[in-house]
Every structure is written in C-alpha cells, then in structure tokens.
Amino acid sequence: MRYALQGKAATAFVCHCTDCQRQSGSAFGMAAWVEDAALDVQRGQLKEWIRHTPSGRQMACRFCADCGSRLFHQVLGSPYLSVKPGSLDDPAQFQPVAHIWVGTKQPWVEIPAGVLQFEGNPEGMEALMQAWHLAHT
C-alpha cells in the first residue's frame, strides 16, 4: 500500500485502551489526527469496517486490503482523520503530546514527564490540540 496525505496535523497521542492494545498487537496504539485530510491512494486498495465506540459513535477503520495493516480511523462525521503514524515514511514527525486511557496501560509502560495524561478518554480533544500547537510553533 502506498498513499499520500495532505492536511493540517492537529495532534498526536498514544492510546492505552484495551481495543488499541488488541488491534495493534502491542501495549498501545498511536494516532495522529489530520484535519481536512485529502487522501490519495497511489498503490493498493483500502478495506473498511465500521465499529461502535464506547461513547456510542461509529468509527470507520480502514486497512490495507493486501496485508491487513491498520492505516486510518475516523469517527463518522468528524473532520479529523486518525492516521497510524507507523504507516508513514517519517513517523518521527508525530511525537505524541498526550497519553489517553492510562487507566488500562500496561504497568511496565513509562510515560515521559510533562506529557499530558488522561485516565480514560478526554472529554474533548482541545487540550491535546493545544499541546500539539504549542509544541509546533
């Protein structure tokens, strides 16, 4: 799969919820939110399945049709596309500014000092977006 993505990065964070642990096959998942994303699939095809979130919303989960790698998530109706940074040519540009669902993180995961933390899902994403903005201005 090869894709190009344009848009404005809004935030990047680590999620320690059990769903992200399962879907990543790891201790956490990462997300980089891109606002007004324009996605150009250059090679390969995407497949999609829709799941219900704990808040009752629906989320489109998109993955490579060939290898099954998760690439994108998007809450239906949201202006933000959640990109899996590990699928990018340069994932280092998305250093996370927050960790969410730390109430279910693996006990051996250490969160760097000064990074925002939320026991569960934050009530809104404004704090994460502000932290991203401050880190990139």
Per-residue pLDDT of 33-65, as tens digits, reads 999 888 999 999 999 999 988 778 899 999 999
* 62 neighbors 23 (Cβ within 8 angstroms): no
b or e along 12-22 (b: 16 or more beta carbons within 10 Å of the residue's beta carbon)? bbbbbbeebbe
* pTM for the whole structure: 0.91
Per-residue pLDDT of 59-105, as tens digits, reads 999 999 999 999 999 999 999 999 999 999 999 999 999 999 999 99
Structural domains present in the chain: 2-135 (3.90.1590.10)
Look up residue 108 and give its two tokens. Answer: 């051996």
What is the rounded CA–CA span in Å between residue 62 and residue 73? 6
pLDDT of residue 54: 73
Strands, E, within the chain: which ranges? 2-15, 29-43, 46-52, 58-64, 70-75, 80-83, 98-100, 116-117
Residue 137 has pLDDT above 90, yes or no: no
